[in-house]
Structure 1
């Protein structure tokens, strides 16, 4: 009997201990479930808050970039700006009006030829409209920059239409990258395209690398500029600013050195007017800007070319000093 009671007592103790352990485990599981639920809710709330903040930041950014007056929004610029060095030498001599800052922020005014329609738009046409104009100016630019260089004369002997075929190859390869969702971002990326033909590769290397920067203060008699310093793959509302365009781009448009000289002299005179009016009232400055814009556009229209329409160019002026070369 004593043994039975002892055994029964031990069993009861073990049962109570097991029950206590089970309750403790149940409590831990419940706590864990509560903790998991609370964590999930907190994560959901935090994610929603982050999404809301990101949307607000994006909305604020778009509002800041969007042109006033209900015009079409310009595409957000890439982090790196092509030809940044040239922008620095074009900065005004101690004069900069509010319009300069606004235009730079929106990315509307540029000294570079916008060729994004050729290399970042797989559906763009080059037989008419903006695509045709961009194509023709780029072709003229290549011809005028490198025509007198030995390497270019050599490829021209083999292929009289080299400039067109060169652009066509680049477009074909760039649009293939678009299909693979690997769009080119900067003009210099064009220099990395594999053209397979060894003669094309050599010409591409020299065209995109040049042997003298457009920013160099000196002039090299046998020098030629790299193409990437004069073009951009960043989409803008106009192909180029006639106020900021360097001489090689003006020549690519007009194909006439006398017209280029006339345009440059007109810009220089306007810039001097702006410097003398730097402290004038804003209304007077705005009126002067409008008049100068009309003069610049009129100069363009007085020298028409067969394939170019004024709607594709920016004739606005600013306090930024136009380039002299």
Structure 2
């Protein structure tokens, strides 16, 4: 499939000249204003943008600033088109995040070479990102399974809970609940990091973690420490890395997934929207799996029984807005559980 290049210039002659240079090699889209280009980019994928600096209404600098300010567009390589270049212009181009500039009058082979190079660089970047993401996913699951392998009674909890969180998060995204927080990027990081919510249990002794029965008060207080232990471990990861965004959500979920909407949870007795959104979502997936799974100290509740218990916690244990969406899509939890 041909790479798609968007060319933005208010000069029709320039547009046609550039199209003539590049057609047959690439898919070309021509736009004669920055405003129209931004509208086009919202719903269309391109691989590289050529944009003139001097345009009326919205010049090239303003256009690129808007592109780079959009999380879905910011990684598209941009090459400026300009009739003059000085240190000030070069500095501005670099500051805005463009990869290069092409001077007018255009030299066909120079233009083609620059476009080819930057498309290849972008392809390498994407491939590297994919490899890093796959490696991160493997590490996350491996860490989570390291905890689970110690406790046969909760085997599979991490993977099941992660699936439930994914279902609920995608439904909340579709319903636009907390849309000021729950962006596609936030949802991606939340789903990615969900398996790490119980990582703190690796610091809980076998005597407590593997007890074949209910915990007494002292043991339960010790077990509750898995939230803060998990947060501390993930904070160390954040400190020793570049602070990957998913690690911050992982930390919040690990620490706060046992907080309750009415402030009666632990470890910090947060209430309402003081509790991070990711932890409020995780709380529902975590409780659903705990209810529907057999443990040494209890039988497994049926799907319907579990739903009734969770709905009863609306406004006390759980966020009312999230519960309203959960009630609509709870049948998907049952389908997922039966499939696992």
Q: TM-score, normalised by structure 2?
A: 0.27
More strand by percentage? 2
